[in-house]
Amino acid sequence: MAMMRVMAIPSPRGRFRLAERPLPEPGREEVRIRVAACGVCHSDSLTVEGLMPGIRYPRVPGHEVIGTIEALGPDVDGWSVGTRVGVGWFGGSCGYCPQCRRDSAFACENAQEVTGVTRDGGYATHMLARVPALARVPEDLDSVTSAPLLCAGMTTFNALRNAGAGPGDLVAILGVGGLGHLGIQYAARQGFHTVAVNRGRDKEELARSLGAYEYIDSAVADLAAALRAMGGAKAILATVTSAEAMEAIVGGLGPNGTLMVIGAVPKLTINSLDLLAKRAAVKGWYSGTGRDSEDTLMFSRMNGIASINEIYPFERAQDAYEHMMSGKARFRVVLRMDD
């Protein structure tokens, strides 16, 4: 019997365990992917730590997947064996519920599927994916280095293009880390007057080399005042997981500005006076669908945008995960499947 290998979490707060399983047959509107690489994302901790109710174990995490379609299930149209595809957080949608019919498939009422959380993900040599979750991968985009674009890349790219800013507008990227180092590149290539914000000066040179036109050291500056002195931000992309940092910067929004929150924090306190007179807004952002992933990959290809990665062999998923969680990774961690 043909087998695959997975790095699975046996139970909440468990450690990764290598397992052999029979190769699964794709169901209706599903494909089987031979995985080439999978990024290690902070959200994988939801599965590893059991932080989301209803996860069934053992579970294979991983939602920054690039691979090749190896088998098609029934009723799959428009996709072929041999096509390179990516899969992100979005696990699929039904296509017929009111949200899907209003072009909001991310909020599908029937298929609340999350790759690597409600269904097995890409810490594996093979995985199944639903067709709506698939993104085509440009031929000359490297699988291993590009895997993080499926979550970290797409979330920042998509939030920025939906932030209401246009070319020339002042846009701040709060945090120069796994998300922020990509956010800076997307902001600059989308034509924004890009400001990188981080604690200390040690990442300034890197931020500027990635496309930041200005840099603010959040440890010394009054962040909000610094942004207001530049005219106020049309958008701020909050990639950090610190409510304090978001609270310190929100006053830097300009008229009709939006704070786009993509880093999860338990509680965020905003002074409404920072919003009212400026008609400013605070908005959360869902990463995106298969189509958004595809746009991200193509935009990255066209503009030479790349994730800076540390690469681990698939069998070292535990080390890779712990390194990512330590916050010391520069900047994304990727598992490479051997083939």
Nearer to Zn ion, 113 or 274 (CB): 113
Best CA proximity match to 237, nearest among 296, 197, 277, 278: 197
Distance of closest approach, residue 127 Cβ to Zn ion, in angstroms: 16
Helix pair angle (180-189, 290-303), 10° resolution: 70
Nearer to Zn ion, 94 or 298 (CB): 94
Nearer to Zn ion, 63 or 234 (CB): 63
Task: Determine the interface stretch with Zn ion among 109-117, 177-185, 213-221, 304-312 (rule: CB under 5 A).
Answer: 109-117
Distance of closest approach, residue 35 Cβ to Zn ion, in angstroms: 16
Q: Which of 66, 129, 151, 235 binds Zn ion (CB under 5 A)?
A: 151
Q: How far apart are CA 41 and CA 33, in angstroms?
A: 20
Nearer to Zn ion, 72 or 108 (CB): 108
Q: How far apart are CA 282 and CA 208, in angstroms?
A: 26
HEC string of 211-266 equals: CCCEEEECCCCCHHHHHHHCCCEEEEEECCCCHHHHHHHHHHEEEEEEEEECCCCC
3-class secondary structure, 14: coil
Nearer to Zn ion, 94 or 248 (CB): 94
Best CA proximity match to 219, nearest among 201, 235, 240: 201
Nearer to Zn ion, 27 or 191 (CB): 27
Distance of closest approach, residue 66 Cβ to Zn ion, in angstroms: 14
Nearer to Zn ion, 55 or 270 (CB): 55
Distance of closest approach, residue 101 Cβ to Zn ion, in angstroms: 8
Distance of closest approach, residue 25 Cβ to Zn ion, in angstroms: 24
Q: Is 307 in the site for Zn ion (CB under 5 A)?
A: no
Hey, which residues between 6 and 45 contact Zn ion (CB under 5 A)?
A: 41, 43
Task: Determine the interface stretch with Zn ion among 18-26, 147-155, 228-236, 256-264 (rule: CB under 5 A).
Answer: 147-155
Whole-Å CA distances, 210 to 14, 37, 205, 260: 37, 24, 9, 20
Nearer to Zn ion, 106 or 213 (CB): 106
Task: Determine the interface stretch with Zn ion among 110-118, 175-183, 196-204, 210-218 (rule: CB under 5 A).
Answer: 110-118
Distance of closest approach, residue 287 Cβ to Zn ion, in angstroms: 7
Distance of closest approach, residue 110 Cβ to Zn ion, in angstroms: 5
Helices (H) and strands (E) in the chain, counts: 11, 15
Using the structure block, give the residue that is written with the tokens 């695959």: 4
Distance of closest approach, residue 311 Cβ to Zn ion, in angstroms: 17
Best CA proximity match to 73, nearest among 22, 2, 137, 25: 25
Q: Which of 108, 223, 246, 261 binds Zn ion (CB under 5 A)?
A: 108
Best CA proximity match to 152, nearest among 317, 336, 329: 329
The number of angstroms, rounded, from the C-alpha of 306 to the middle of its chain's C-alpha atoms is 13
User: What does 321-335 look like in DSSP terms, one character per residue?
Assistant: HHHHHTT--SSEEEE
Per-residue DSSP letter, 119: B
Distance of closest approach, residue 17 Cβ to Zn ion, in angstroms: 22
Hey, which residues between 43 and 102 contact Zn ion (CB under 5 A)?
A: 43, 93-94, 97, 100
Using the structure block, give the residue that is written with the tokens 């939602």: 63
Whole-Å CA distances, 221 to 63, 78, 209: 36, 53, 22
Nearer to Zn ion, 93 or 190 (CB): 93
Q: Contact positions toward Zn ion, by CB under 5 A?
A: 41, 43, 93-94, 97, 100, 108, 110, 151
